[in-house]
A and B are shown apart, each in its own frame.
Chain A
Amino acid sequence: EPEVTQTPSHQVTQMGQEVILRCVPISNHLYFYWYRQILGQKVEFLVSFYNNEISEKSEIFDDQFSVERPDGSNFTLKIRSTKLEDSAMYFCASSEELGVTEAFFGQGTRLTVV
């Protein structure tokens, strides 16, 4: 069964450092997303990406965040200067169509900022 894969599974970084979270969406999917979940809280939308540009972003997705599809398979989330409050589980997701069909989630990257 095709799946979304994310690396690394766990990243520990010092406050102020840059991190890049990587995702390989399902190959025939066209829409890509990043979500985050702070421990004990709900899953929150960060950004959606289609046709090599951002479709929608949330208030959380400020200038410290960026996304990129550097090649035909990878989809990355970069946090330029991490803060303690960026500590969370980050989920990548992809879907064939916009919102109507299932969004498949990767297993997540647990980011710990110390």
Chain B
Amino acid sequence: RKEVEQDPGPFNVPEGATVAFNCTYSNSASQSFFWYRQDCRKEPKLLMSVYSSGNEDGRFTAQLNRASQYISLLIRDSKLSDSATYLCVVNINNQGGKLIFGQGTELSVKP
């Protein structure tokens, strides 16, 4: 089983659509959870951390279910500029700060 697994994508949506990404992780000792965004051939950039109670940042909402080892990201009212690959990332604190990345889900928002 992959350590972090995401929807394979790509997701092609019109502007204004709501899109949801799913992610599961295999290590129950995982402590910290993040969504990163990666534009083509660029570095990953943090989109948001994911907290147990769920959290929202503008049009973006992240949820965590520790029992199911499941993380989600919801993007509302999608913009052309949201087009990117979304990376689900997990950290197990007792492993030197190592971040474990999912393979990413590509999103393409069309006019």
Q: Give min CB distance, A28 to chain B, whole Å.
A: 16
Nearest to A107 among chain B residues (CB) is B43
Q: Give min CB distance, B59 to chain A, whole Å.
A: 20
Choose among A56, A93, A102, A105 the residue that contacts B96 (Cβ–Cβ < 8 A).
A56
Say whether A12 faces chain B, with CB atoms less than 8 Å apart: no
Are B46 and A48 neighbours in the complex by a CB distance under 8 Å? no
Are A55 and B97 neighbours in the complex by a CB distance under 8 Å? yes
Are A99 and B97 neighbours in the complex by a CB distance under 8 Å? yes
Say whether A75 faces chain B, with CB atoms less than 8 Å apart: no
Q: Mark A20-51, 1 if CB is under 8 A from B, else 0.
A: 00000000000101010000011111001010
Q: How many residues of B contact A (CB 8 A)?
A: 25
Say whether A103 faces chain B, with CB atoms less than 8 Å apart: yes
Are B103 and A42 neighbours in the complex by a CB distance under 8 Å? yes
Say whether B70 faces chain A, with CB atoms less than 8 Å apart: no
Chain A: interface secondary structure? strand
Please give, as numbers and ranges, the residues of chain B lying within 8 Å of A100 by CB-CB distance. 31-32, 91, 93
Nearest to A103 among chain B residues (CB) is B99
Nearest to B87 among chain A residues (CB) is A43
Say whether B1 faces chain A, with CB atoms less than 8 Å apart: no
Please give, as numbers and ranges, the residues of chain A lying within 8 Å of B102 by CB-CB distance. 42
Nearest to A110 among chain B residues (CB) is B41
Say whether B109 faces chain A, with CB atoms less than 8 Å apart: no
Please give, as numbers and ranges, the residues of chain A lying within 8 Å of B13 by CB-CB distance. none
Q: Give min CB distance, B2 to chain A, whole Å.
A: 9
